[in-house]
């Protein structure tokens, strides 16, 4: 093979690579959303503990079930801040969000307190606070508007998660709540803290320990995420 033919073949191959790389991404890939699930606590931090039910174990199991459930259908790519029983600092969870840049973030918890009669689930989104400084500084105003867009999306996500959890905990919703959180306040993406049941309530505790209920919770959360992204399209 002479040098001219060799150069022509190399040019043709390079052109093919460029053309293939410029092809449009399939609809299935375009509509795939990365979600970061955060199983609260872990390792030396057990979280809420009641009658052998440790919060760190339950949140991890739910996160793994969510990932498993999401694999049954298209649209969601579930990532976890931890996939084993290990201590994970808040700073490490924030770094995971920054590194991954997911479409949204859910931190899973189990509630406690408010007396032994408190029952049900709660969904927390970041609190709305005015962050503009410098008066009419346009850069500061634009930054605040961008931040508020994430907050608004967090509220929309909370509404879908609440509606889905209602199928598992009928009439047990304790409302959507905005509250300051070192974890959520550090985010620039839609994010929620989901308190799933009370370990201090006998019926809630029994329900949370049930394997089938855990699967139902995972299905509900996946459905809520899917509905959220469907409405955002």
**pLDDT score for 142:** 45
**pLDDT score for 113:** 82
Three-class SS of the chain: CCHHHHHHHHHHHHHHHHHHHCCCCCHHHHCCEEEEEEECCECCECCCEECCEEHHHHHHHHHHHHHHHHCCCCCEEEEECCCCCCCCCHHHHHHHHHHHCCCEEEEEEEECCCCCCCCCEEEEEECCCCCCCCCCCHHHHHHHHHHHHHHHHHHHHHHHHHHHHCCCCCCCEEEEEEECCCCHHHCCCCEEEEEEEECCCHHHHHHHHCHHHHHHHHHHHHHHHHHHHHHHC
CATH classification of 31-232 is 3.40.630.40, yes or no? yes
**pLDDT score for 8:** 46
Considering the chain, what percentage of its residues have pLDDT values greater than 70? 79
| Of 23-27, 108-112, 114-118, 132-136, highest mean pLDDT | 108-112
| Of 110-119, 128-137, 195-204, highest mean pLDDT | 195-204
Query: Which pLDDT band, with edges at 50, 70 and 90, does 5 fall under?
Result: low
**pLDDT score for 3:** 53
- Least confident window among 76-80, 82-86, 122-126, 145-149: 145-149
pLDDT beyond 50 at 23: no
pLDDT beyond 60 at 19: no
| pTM for the predicted model, two decimal places | 0.81
- Least confident window among 28-37, 52-61, 63-72, 196-205: 28-37
pLDDT beyond 50 at 93: yes
Domain coordinates of the chain in residue numbers?
A: 31-232
pLDDT beyond 60 at 44: yes
Query: Which pLDDT band, with edges at 50, 70 and 90, does 138 fall under?
Result: very low
């Amino acid at each position: 093979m002479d040098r001219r033919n060799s150069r022509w073949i190399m040019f043709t191959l390079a052109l093919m690579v460029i053309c293939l790389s410029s092809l449009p991404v399939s609809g299935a890939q375009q509509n795939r959303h990365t979600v970061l699930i955060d199983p609260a606590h872990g390792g030396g931090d057990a979280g809420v503990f009641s009658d052998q039910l440790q919060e760190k174990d339950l949140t991890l199991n739910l996160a793994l079930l969510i990932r498993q459930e999401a694999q049954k259908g298209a649209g969601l790519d579930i990532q976890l801040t931890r996939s084993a029983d290990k201590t994970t600092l808040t700073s490490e969870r924030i770094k995971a969000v920054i590194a991954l840049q997911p479409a949204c973030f859910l931190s899973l918890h189990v509630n406690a307190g408010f007396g032994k009669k408190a029952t049900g689930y709660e969904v927390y989104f970041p609190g709305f606070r005015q962050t503009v400084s410098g008066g009419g500084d346009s850069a500061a105003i634009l930054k605040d508007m961008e931040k508020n867009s994430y907050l608004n999306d967090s509220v929309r996500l909370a509404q879908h998660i609440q509606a889905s959890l209602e199928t598992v905990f009928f009439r047990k919703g304790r409302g959507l709540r905005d509250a300051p959180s070192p974890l959520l306040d550090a985010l620039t993406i839609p994010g929620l803290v989901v308190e799933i049941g009370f370990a201090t309530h006998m019926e809630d505790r029994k329900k949370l320990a049930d394997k089938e209920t855990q699967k139902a919770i995972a299905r509900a959360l996946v459905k809520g995420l899917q509905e959220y992204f469907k409405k955002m399209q």
